[in-house]
Structure 1
């Protein structure tokens, strides 16, 4: 119960932090946009309003579109992990202990039927061992260990995409920064006479917005990755413990001895 409460508090802190960070970036962007525009436009009211969220996103160009797609993918993956990566769903205690008990008393047919009817990682591991049981204890063990590695590997591979997004998003934002600065310097290079600051606004805006956008995507995703990594470690530990018990029972019940 203590760790469950800690997880809930941690998730709440991540949500609050992500929301405050995003709102702070928008607020700062609006304030500075209003101050800068006020110097060059005649309509003071428009200058005080600043840039809307949509204007900020559009100023980032194609790079912000890429970051938007990455954020949508990360959000979908986070929701998927929240729904599916649960100990009680992947390694249900009652079902797993029932399977172990049935194995101990030799009710293998009942175990097979249960494994086929109830989708679970331990069920798949046990079923793979029972399928190879006639070939001997070594074959049964290897089959169960291989199945367990595949199941665990799939889980870790899934959350690894979050780490990839968290690593790539700042680089994409940096690319937008470089592109924006190139555009800004091109304005200076090809503009004759005194360079008007408003002509540089597009390039500089893209440079700053894409950097902020990359960080806004990366920071929350990395926090969620850290949380799911801890959850998967707990799931992996349960799988290893139950798999070891099941392997031992099936090895001892094999007709073919080493």
Structure 2
């Protein structure tokens, strides 16, 4: 019986010690990420700033592109019915009430009604260029980050290795791995961080650029359909031809 009690107490003691060890290890793991990044040196500051800018641009452009989408067929049909009825002012008011690229492009064309088709096409083209510019706004920031972040990381590699060799020279070759650890940490961490930031920025740049290209294609097709609609006979002219006949 005494042997069993002793075994039980010893087991509980071992369990408590193991729990304390796990708790200490967990605390060390929680601190390790910050400590790991802090070993990257001063170049981690611009990398951190670039990562924040990249997150801002990605979120802002994603939200802006999603808000710019519109049901093209329904919008074109509604505007077409208003114009066929000869209600130009109503069509302008309808476009004014929708703050999206396609209505703004159509509004520029509707204002030129009564002029030649060439003038209307020029108005649509100029308005479309303005909208494309706004759709691509800040995308150059993302492209720049995708290229600059890895270069900053590689710069950290160079400075880290320079620091390591300076330590070797100052100690006249009598060094151990722990002496070189600081420079090697800086070299590896800045390189890894720069590559991660650059890869994420480059990936989202291509993803958002694909969304922009699809939207531009939709705007161009809708503008062409708008011109075709203007060149088709209006309901008013059809009624007049019917009466004459």
**So what's the TM-score if we normalise by structure 2?**
0.73
Match of 2:180 among 189, 200, 206: 200
The residue aligned with 1:190 is 170
Task: State the secondary structure of the residue aligned to 2:86.
Answer: coil
Q: Please give the alpha-carbon distance, in whole angstroms, between the structure 1 residues aligned to 2:115 and 2:197.
A: 51
Corresponding position: 1:92 with 2:71: yes
Give the conservation status (yes or no) of the 8 Å contact 1:103–1:249.
no
Q: Which runs of 5+ in 2 are unaligned?
A: 1-23, 234-245
Corresponding position: 1:79 with 2:48: no
The 1:174–1:97 alpha-carbon spacing in structure 2 relative to 1, beyond 3 Å, is farther
The residue aligned with 1:118 is 98
Q: Which runs of 5+ in 1 are unaligned?
A: 1-44, 254-258
Task: State the secondary structure of the residue aligned to 2:136.
Answer: helix
Q: Please give the alpha-carbon distance, in whole angstroms, between the structure 2 residues aligned to 1:204 and 1:89.
A: 48
1:1-258 correspondence to structure 2 within 5 Å: 49=28, 52-86=32-66, 89-93=68-72, 94-133=74-113, 136-192=116-172, 194-250=174-230
Task: State the secondary structure of the residue aligned to 1:85.
Answer: helix
Q: Which has the larger radius of gyration?
A: 2
The 1:167–1:76 alpha-carbon spacing in structure 2 relative to 1, beyond 3 Å, is same
**So what's the TM-score if we normalise by structure 1?**
0.70
The residue aligned with 2:18 is none
Q: Please give the alpha-carbon distance, in whole angstroms, between the structure 2 residues aligned to 1:79 and 1:104.
A: 41
Q: Structure 1 stretch 96-105 or stretch 75-84: which is displaced more?
A: 96-105
What is the aligned residue count?
207
Give the conservation status (yes or no) of the 8 Å contact 1:91–1:235.
no
Please state how far the C-alpha of 1:250 moved relative to its aligned partner.
4.8
CA RMSD of aligned residues (A): 2.7
